[in-house]
Structure 1
Amino acid sequence: MSREQRAKIDRMLRASQSDATKSAEENRAGLAALMATMKLVPEGIRTTETTLGDRRAVLVEPVEHPRAGTILYFHGGSFVSGSPEAALSLTGGLVVKTGFRALSPAYRLAPEHPFPAAIDDTLAAYRVLLERGEDPCAIAFAGDSAGGGLTVTTCLAARAAGLPLPAAIVAFSPGLDATRTGESMDAKEGIDPFLSREKLKPPSAMYLAGQDPHQELLSPAVLADLTGFPPILLQVGTNEVLLDDSTRLAARARNAGVDVILDVTAGVPHAFPSFAGVLDEADQALDRAALFLAQQLKR
């Protein structure tokens, strides 16, 4: 790991802290500005605005060497901010490295649209792909942070609806426990340059809107039955307050007989693969994620 690279990103993330006194719209604008400043979108992709059902979406395609396969990508933002455009460093990185196309829906956000609106929208996006005749064996769910959590909860919702499950799940630093009971929530306090228990309280309250977090669609790391799930890749950093969301989901997957890879990288921040191009570990992590997807999707 480059200490200089890591230190630069650490300083930038600490300076970009969202403010609980600001409105959701102000924090959304702040996240968009942060990602735009980093200029992390890779070359070699083309983007087209489209729709999935009644939701806006962004189609991301490789300029060269396309391959059959679709990544349904769910952006992060604690369910209150973020967009397909803000996640293009990750979506585009996966597209360039795999040759698969990606579709990223703009699911509804809290507080205007609390739980389970986001899951309803991501499930609806998956239904559209199936109704178009796409083979679920050629579809993967991927996402970061809150979107990483949606890869799992959308799969739970699809199973409950009797739909065939996708071929694979890739989750970058997923949020998988609205009860916030992981030991890393406190053990990594101050070490994580971006998230903290206190910082997560306002968006969590907006998303929950008074609902009990002890539900599998809100806290799959501690409550979900993952029986029958497709292979899962979880990528997370040791400095994250959400570290134990991934470690506990991996244990649940293993106990349910699901193929799971828990890919933990030392000394990196939340959603670190989004820093591909400026952090060596991010490029390496995306390479591993691309290899996993290439191995799992039907060709």
Structure 2
Amino acid sequence: MKTLIVLLLLLFTLNASSLRISAQTLNQDVLKYKILDTRSLKDYQAGHIHGAINFDVAQTYSNMELNGKLTDPLEMQNIIQLAGLNIEDNVVIYDNGSFFDAARLFWALEVYGFTNVKLLTAGYKQWLQKGLKTTTKVTSVVQSDYITVINNKRLATKFSTQIATKNPNHIIIDARPTKAYIGKVSVAQRFGHIPKATNIPASHNIDKSSNISILKDVEILKDIYKNISKDKKVVIYCALGKISATNYFALRELDYDVSNYDASWKEWGNDLKLPIVNPSQK
């Protein structure tokens, strides 16, 4: 019986870690993947992983000045087609090493139907430090015939988040820094957090003990989220639906039923009709 339990735990760990890929592994199998560089075009042109395609994360926002809402389906369809991506592609995403942009694109592609997406465990900075192959040559792509597919399980909205505040089978996680959660700072008119939300800052998913940020190991992530029940649906939010994507990624690795609220606090906190909790006023 003990042997069976160990095997099941090992199988779970392997499945969970399949959403990430190391620099060494990617370097060995670079031709197996469509590699997406989420940095700006300027940074991409200055140097990128050999074979990578520029997919600036800004393209995932409908209007960043308003909130973090995801780009609408018709526009995203065009963006994905121009990037040469097909729904069945094996995709690897990286950014400058913060993981916020890479995780945001990871989440956006999952919302738009992609199922074979991974994050590089460290960003471009580590790739350079390892002396792995880079180039300034822009990777040529052939426009794809991708047709919009929406996975609504991965996208939370203002409406579905309102439901989550009243549904005992839902958990809400606020991924912002604690100062924002307790109402000391805010990107919106109001200060505080969404009712029922618990605070697990996005930074908790990233190891910054060295000079290079890396994703924390799956076993460490399990401990971080040990009090989050797998029997419930999880809604995550932050200020703009960006840094919360790292929590989303972590919970996807741990096999939770999780969605990211794209417009996040900037929408909720500016809607005076919606309830909030502001601990700083108590």
RCO higher in structure (CA 8 A, sep ≥6): 2
Question: What TM-score, normalized by structure 2, do the two folds share?
Answer: 0.32
Q: What TM-score, normalized by structure 1, do the two folds share? A: 0.31
